[in-house]
Amino acid sequence: MGKNKNSQVSDDMAGQAAGAIGGLAVVFGILAAIKDKLGLSWPATVLLTAGTLVAIGYSAWRLRAAIVRLVAGEKLPAAALKQEAPAQSAQEGTETLVLPTAMGRLLQRLEVPVESVDSIPHPTGEGHMVRVAAPHTTAAVTRLREAIASELDVTQEEVNFAQVEGSIRNVRMLIGTPYTHIPELPDLVGLDLDADIPLGYDLWGNILTMPSPIGKHFLVAGETEGGKTSFLKFLAYLFLVAGGRLVIVDGKPDGDYADFREACDYYDNSLTHKGVMGALEYVREVAERRGRSKRDGSRPEPMLVIIDEILTFKEDPAEGRKFESALKLTASQVRSARILVACATQHPRDDVISTVIKNNLTVSVAFKVMSQAASRMILGTVPEGVNAELLPASARGTFIIKDPRGVREMRGLFITDDMIQQAVKARLDAVEPNEHAKAVLAAYGSAEFLTTEELAQALRGCGYEIPDGAQPMGVAVRDVIVKGFGAAPDVVQGGPASARRKGRRKADLLALLART
């Protein structure tokens, strides 16, 4: 590194001269020794020696050039290397900058400071690995999306870029429909939330990760149907399979997160100010409890707190201000308790994504938006050419994430409702109910709701002493439930609409079980 180029060259020459003299002596010696056997004259021996030496020198030069190429190639990331087309490498061209591919020439025509352009295979499109010359960065290419599209007579959506991780000068470019290559979900057995977690995939179908989410908070924003909820559901799924806890406040009426309900420590879909404030208070209490028990050296399970569609809680200005200060307080108090908050909105405006939201939720995830201003609102400062307005409309679930690792585009990994249900079931099955809980669950059988009286009757059949009379019966039933589940869910109205009666839901009992 510290050596300058001249001293490197003279070192090379000295080495080569020494090698040449040594080589000459050896070859001459060998030929002299066997010259009589071969019947050669002295001049023929000398000529043969010189010829052999030239041949050895030429082979050594070819070998050296090959090694240099190999070493230069190894600097490319593994994924790119695998996909590189061997015949197109043509590295000899780098010095003269005559680029062999049509794309190389096109970029040169557009005055991109390219160093090399190599074709790389793609299952459905045309792939290129572009290396820009120092001191330029990949922005020199990515900002020319429109110009490249127009030169090629394709839409901008068919001109796609994928950053090469760890490199500011290499960028992969795909001409064709983006995100057609969907990889299999990686194996999540043994997933560690304190290490990198998988989140999405690039244009080539390579899985992309982010550093451990613990200690961070997320802002997820973009147009409707962009994939925000799907992204958060995937994150919740990761927490579920990795043994994390879940708190979900769903501020939309469609019940998008209903499948997670039984596995949540706290779930609210009431769409009310009271609901969201209750959840935030609960989370701060958990953090406080965790803080107190920290001294015993235990490390609590990570907890993900989802608040989807924050506008619901900001529509009323006075309530909105209270919500924001509660969110700010929560975000700052719970981080060290391994609790992270993720808020979503489909309204990337400055009244929704306020300074409080931006300052406290520092990992930003932008789905497709309608303007560069909206993109900036979500992502803040990003390298030139990065714009969520340009995300492909054809591939839902594509986003730009800005986290401590940088800014990159990917399409989110997608999970089905079946997978969520299975993960929730696995979580519930992992908890072995005690005898009291077993008795209560047996009483429910396949029923979703039982009145207090129906439950009392069933428990009597199992040998529990449950007195008559509404008041003592209610107390005795509650007592069995607390022994079984650690707490008793609220009594709610249930049963057929014509005859609503007070009782408890099995789902609420199961949710309690999942929390213990």
Q: Which residues bind ligand ATP (CB under 6 A)?
A: 224-230, 346, 367, 396-397, 411-412, 414
Residue 225 is assigned to a ligand binding site? yes
Question: What is the phi/psi pair of residue 364, to 5°?
Answer: -105, 140
Cβ of residue 309: shortest distance to ligand ATP, in angstroms?
7
Between residues 229 and 360, which has the closer beta carbon with respect to Mg ion?
A: 229
Q: Taking CB within 5 to 8 Å according to partner kind, which of Mg ion, ligand ATP, none is near residue 49?
A: none
Nearest CA among 380, 480, 405 for reference residue 438: 480
Cβ of residue 283: shortest distance to ligand ATP, in angstroms?
22
Using CB under 5 A as the binding rule, whether residue 312 contacts Mg ion is answered as no
Stretch that binds Mg ion, among 42-50, 53-61, 227-235, 328-336 (CB under 5 A): 227-235
CA gap 308, 189 in Å, rounded: 28
Between residues 223 and 508, which has the closer beta carbon with respect to Mg ion?
A: 223
Among 206, 229, 375, 451, binds Mg ion (CB under 5 A): 229
In whole angstroms, how large is the CA radius of gyration of the chain? 33
Cβ of residue 184: shortest distance to ligand ATP, in angstroms?
14
Q: Taking CB within 5 to 8 Å according to partner kind, which of ligand ATP, Mg ion, none is near residue 414?
A: ligand ATP
Q: What is the 3-state secondary structure (H, E, C) of 35-47?
A: HHHHCCCHHHHHH
Structure tokens at 182: 């969907």
Cβ of residue 487: shortest distance to ligand ATP, in angstroms?
32
Between residues 229 and 398, which has the closer beta carbon with respect to Mg ion?
A: 229
Stretch that binds Mg ion, among 221-229, 239-247, 276-284, 350-358 (CB under 5 A): 221-229
Render 142-170 in DSSP notation, one character per residue. Answer: HTTHHHHHHHHT--GGGEEEEEPTT-SSE
| Cα 347 from chain centre | 23
Between residues 369 and 509, which has the closer beta carbon with respect to ligand ATP?
A: 369
Do the beta carbons of residue 473 and residue 453 sit within 8 Å? yes
Cβ of residue 257: shortest distance to ligand ATP, in angstroms?
11
- HSE-up of residue 319 (Cα within 13 Å, Cβ side): 14
- Paired residues of 118 in beta bridges: 129
Q: Which residue is nearest to ligand ATP (CB)?
A: 397
Using CB under 5 A as the binding rule, whether residue 142 contacts Mg ion is answered as no
Residue 271 backbone class (left: φ over 0; alpha: ψ -120 to 50; beta: rest): left
Cβ of residue 240: shortest distance to Mg ion, in angstroms?
19
Stretch that binds Mg ion, among 225-233, 258-266, 297-305, 352-360 (CB under 5 A): 225-233
Sorted by sequence, the CB contacts under 8 Å of residue 453 that are 6+ apart come out as 473, 501
Structure tokens at 48: 């043969």
Stretch that binds Mg ion, among 34-42, 62-70, 228-236, 355-363 (CB under 5 A): 228-236
Q: Taking CB within 5 to 8 Å according to partner kind, which of Mg ion, ligand ATP, none is near residue 198?
A: none
Between residues 229 and 375, which has the closer beta carbon with respect to Mg ion?
A: 229
Do the beta carbons of residue 45 and residue 35 sit within 8 Å? yes
Do the beta carbons of residue 303 and residue 338 sit within 8 Å? yes
Q: Taking CB within 5 to 8 Å according to partner kind, which of ligand ATP, Mg ion, none is near residue 396?
A: ligand ATP
Sorted by sequence, the CB contacts under 8 Å of residue 298 that are 6+ apart come out as none
Cβ of residue 227: shortest distance to Mg ion, in angstroms?
8
Between residues 100 and 227, which has the closer beta carbon with respect to ligand ATP?
A: 227
Q: Mask of contacts with Mg ion, 232-251, x by CB under 5 A?
A: --------------------
Stretch that binds Mg ion, among 112-120, 229-237, 395-403, 449-457 (CB under 5 A): 229-237
Q: Taking CB within 5 to 8 Å according to partner kind, which of Mg ion, ligand ATP, none is near residue 471?
A: none
Nearest CA among 233, 379, 216 for reference residue 306: 233
Structure tokens at 199: 């989140």
Residue 222 is assigned to a ligand binding site? yes
Cβ of residue 308: shortest distance to Mg ion, in angstroms?
6
Q: At what angle do helices 5-38 and 42-74 cross, to 10 degrees?
A: 140
Between residues 84 and 308, which has the closer beta carbon with respect to ligand ATP?
A: 308
CA gap 500, 494 in Å, rounded: 5
CA gap 226, 211 in Å, rounded: 23
Q: Taking CB within 5 to 8 Å according to partner kind, which of ligand ATP, Mg ion, none is near residue 397?
A: ligand ATP
- HSE-up of residue 228 (Cα within 13 Å, Cβ side): 29
Between residues 250 and 265, which has the closer beta carbon with respect to ligand ATP?
A: 250
Structure tokens at 292: 């107190």
Measured CA to CA in angstroms, residue 406 lies from 91, 179, 209, 363 at distances of: 30, 21, 12, 10
Cβ of residue 209: shortest distance to ligand ATP, in angstroms?
15
Sorted by sequence, the CB contacts under 8 Å of residue 442 that are 6+ apart come out as 458, 462
Using CB under 5 A as the binding rule, whether residue 83 contacts Mg ion is answered as no
Between residues 49 and 229, which has the closer beta carbon with respect to Mg ion?
A: 229
Q: CB burial class (10 A; 0-12, 13-18, 19+) of residue 10?
A: exposed
Residue 224 is assigned to a ligand binding site? yes
Cβ of residue 233: shortest distance to ligand ATP, in angstroms?
7
Structure tokens at 229: 């909820």
Q: Taking CB within 5 to 8 Å according to partner kind, which of Mg ion, ligand ATP, none is near residue 323?
A: none
Cβ of residue 172: shortest distance to Mg ion, in angstroms?
30
Q: DSSP secondary-structure letter at 356?
A: H
Between residues 228 and 505, which has the closer beta carbon with respect to ligand ATP?
A: 228
Q: CB burial class (10 A; 0-12, 13-18, 19+) of residue 466?
A: buried
Annotated binding site for ATP: 222-229
**Interacting residue ranges for Mg ion, rule: CB under 5 A:** 229
Annotated binding site: 222-229
